[in-house]
Amino acid sequence: MTRVFTLQSGRKDLPPNFAADLNEAQRAAVTCGPGPKLVIAGAGSGKTRTITYRVAYLIASGVAPSRILLATFTNKAAREMLSRVVSLIGEQAAQVWGGTFHALGNRILRRHAPVVGLQANYSILDDEDQRDLLKVCVTEAKIDTKAQRFPAPAVVQDLLSFAFNTQRPLPEVLEQRAPHFSQWTAELDRVGERYEAKKRAANALDYDDLLKFWWRLLEDHPATAKRLGTQFQHLLVDEYQDTNLVQARIVERLAEHNGRTLMVVGDDAQSIYQFRGAYYDNILKFPERNPGTEIFKLETNYRSTPEILEFTNASIAHNARQHRKTLLAHRGRGSLPVVVPVNDVYQEAAFVAHRILDLRDEGVPLEEMAVLYRAHAHSSILQAELIKRNIPYEVRSGVRFFEQAHIKDVVAYLKVLDNPFDEIAWRRLWLMMPRVGNATAARLWDTLRSSANPLAAATGDALRKTLPAAAQPHVKRFQDDLRSLREALPDAAPSALVDAVLETGYPDYVRATYESAASRLEDLEQLAVFARSYRTLRSFLSELVLLGELYGQDVQAGSPDHERLVLSSVHQAKGLEWRTVFVLRMTEGDFPSDVALREEDGEEEERRIFYVATTRAKDELYITHPLLDLSPRGSSQILLQPSRFLQEIRFTLYEQGQIEEMPSVSRFEE
């Protein structure tokens, strides 16, 4: 006979006051019994509060903290939730297994490494380590990268990772995400195999391996899977709409051994990370995979006014595949969202900047306002306008527009056209060529600087003779491109010159060198749009420097550090909120994105992105859509259609804005 001894903590904490701190729907989710649970937590509905109170409730009900696993998507979220639980229930909550999927996978693998053929002292490769190792693999695979550009290590890393997280073959991923590399399919497969072998030989794992071997532990070793599954009496997962296939398989396999006591929390209407490998059906079909699932819906929104919520509800209702819900406002009435047609992107920037200054005068701090956009490139014209009006801002969607590497690359082409003696610009161009390093670049400059006309000399035989044989094919293409740019120079406007650079071999360099090549090329198209404000190349280049952008000068002098307007892509804004939100460029082709519409479920995901954008606003929501654009060559005007997401919303749910008088937008000349 076995005697069982129960250890109790020295303190007896009372459960939190659920009646006072939770609404009825939250309380039902927090106090539910065992079994599979799906909590659909609408925007601003108190998701974090519900999860933390659920953990606190379980501990207060006698569940050992070490038998609770809480998976989140950021370490910050895990720390925040667990610290809240500690404040509710005491220090014992620190024993909860909380963290990101990768952190939890690492913790489990350290204990069970030999089971899956690993040593417990394995190293973890960070992003830079992974790229360095892939570079070695490409070299050792003896791939001839000289004839055509082979993808850079960062691009290879992204493709291999996406293939793993979506559980799709690499050729299929290449066809979808990088068809321009399809000729390298066999070589990329070889690099991937060598990369895996070298990691194993080095006793090293990358981030994806932490999930791969955790899954292998559960899939190939039933006894260990059962032991782990029964160890965790309760499993909770935050942001389930953002999980990929592997992550969902892991937690649902663990749940097979604990009576399927798994609570997943999220909002299918905010599933917007398909491009990272998130799998929408994880949350949509959770009840099908887990029979007997009890569904809770948190529909009381504590963030936005009723008018904003009525607008957002009307939009997301057009999605067919969803867990339907209706957000209800806890707050009192406010103002209708405002949809503002503007003539073009310049007037759009002027209107937004002008309205921001008015709102600041009315008492809304800059940090309580945000401008959101579908693509980072859509902020380019606005950033220039904000700088001219001395409105301090911070960019949450990446590097400031004009500080990005690919923008600087194209500007380097323009600078040598305007000033052929610009050594720094020449060096930047040369270093893009394969087999050209700093020493070779120095020799090339020595060849040019003694010339009376460096631009002409750069297309001559003397330059080619300075280069190693391996670089000869690439410099010939570069010289051909330079000749075409020189021919366009006398009569071309700055925007036409940017377009001309995009017809050279530079786009191939972008695709082979940078991640997110499509969005970077879109940035460059927006650079051409920005350049339309200038009549001469010199005035355009001068203004870029005077704006303080290209060289990272402080454009926010004299402003308190916290007083900054936020510019952000919608993806980066998820989970955040502001009193006033502006959403830019709501036109067909921009939002929704043309590229996204070509993908399966593309329109519905784009509508979810719009839903995320509009639900960030607490008090005021402004949406702008330009009416006109110029053709790529600038020879004619194109009529733009308002986004379908605006056209499908009943006009009584928003106010139509009208710009009666705007200051003329200046066209700069020397």
**Strand ranges across the sheet with 655-656:** 393-395, 565-569, 369-373, 578-583, 617-626, 338-342, 655-656
| Closest listed residue to residue 610, CA positions, set 596, 628, 629 | 596
Catalytic residue among 26, 37, 47, 590: 47
485-496 per-residue burial string, b: 16 or more CB within 10 A, e: under 16: bbebbeebbbbb
- The C-alpha angle 371, 79, 619, rounded to 5 degrees, equals 30
- Could you give the 3-state DSSP secondary structure of residue 393? strand
Cα distances from 32 to residues 154, 258, 262, 294, in angstroms, run 45, 16, 12, 9
Q: Which amino acid would we find at residue 544?
A: L
Please state, in angstroms and rounded to a whole number, the distance separating the CA atoms of residues 317 and 413.
48
- Could you give the 3-state DSSP secondary structure of residue 72? strand
Question: Which string of DSSP letters, residue by residue, matches 434-450?
Answer: TT--HHHHHHHHHHHHT
Beta-sheet strands, E only, within 22-156: 37-41, 68-72, 97-100, 123-124
Residue 500 host element (H or E): helix 494-501
| Helix axes of 222-231 and 245-255: crossing angle, nearest 10 degrees | 80
| Closest listed residue to residue 600, CA positions, set 321, 400, 197 | 321
Residue 224 contacts residue 218 (beta carbons within 8 Å) = yes
Please state, in angstroms and rounded to a whole number, the distance separating the CA atoms of residues 433 and 419.
21
451-480 per-residue burial string, b: 16 or more CB within 10 A, e: under 16: beebbebbeeeebeebbeeebeebbeebbe
Cα distances from 18 to residues 31, 53, 168, in angstroms, run 9, 8, 45
Question: Which string of DSSP letters, residue by residue, matches 192-235?
Answer: HHHHHHHHHHTTEE-HHHHHHHHHHHHHH-HHHHHHHHHH-SEE
| Closest listed residue to residue 211, CA positions, set 138, 267, 277 | 277
Active site residue 461: no
Tell me, what DSSP letter sits at residue 493? -
Q: In 10 A of CB 223, how many CB atoms?
A: 8
Catalytic residue among 13, 21, 27, 48: 48
Contacts of 442 (CB under 8 A, 6+ apart): none
| Closest listed residue to residue 450, CA positions, set 439, 466, 437, 436 | 466
217-226 long-range Cβ contacts below 8 angstroms, 24+ apart: 217/108, 217/109, 217/112, 217/115, 217/116, 218/250, 218/253, 218/254, 219/253, 220/116, 221/115, 221/116, 224/112, 224/115, 225/253, 225/254, 225/256, 225/257, 226/257
- Could you give the 3-state DSSP secondary structure of residue 289? helix
Q: Please state the separation of Cα 619 from the chain's center in Å.
A: 26
Catalytic residue among 149, 355, 616, 618: 616
Catalytic residue among 187, 239, 267, 619: 239
Catalytic residue among 157, 243, 270, 587: 270
Cα distances from 305 to residues 316, 331, 574, in angstroms, run 17, 6, 18
- Could you give the 3-state DSSP secondary structure of residue 123? strand
Active site residue 616: yes
Please state, in angstroms and rounded to a whole number, the distance separating the CA atoms of residues 34 and 15.
18
* Residue corresponding to tokens 């529909």: 299
Catalytic residue among 158, 209, 238, 605: 238
Active site residue 238: yes
Active site residue 641: no
Q: Which amino acid would we find at residue 586?
A: M
Catalytic positions are: 47-48, 238-239, 270, 616
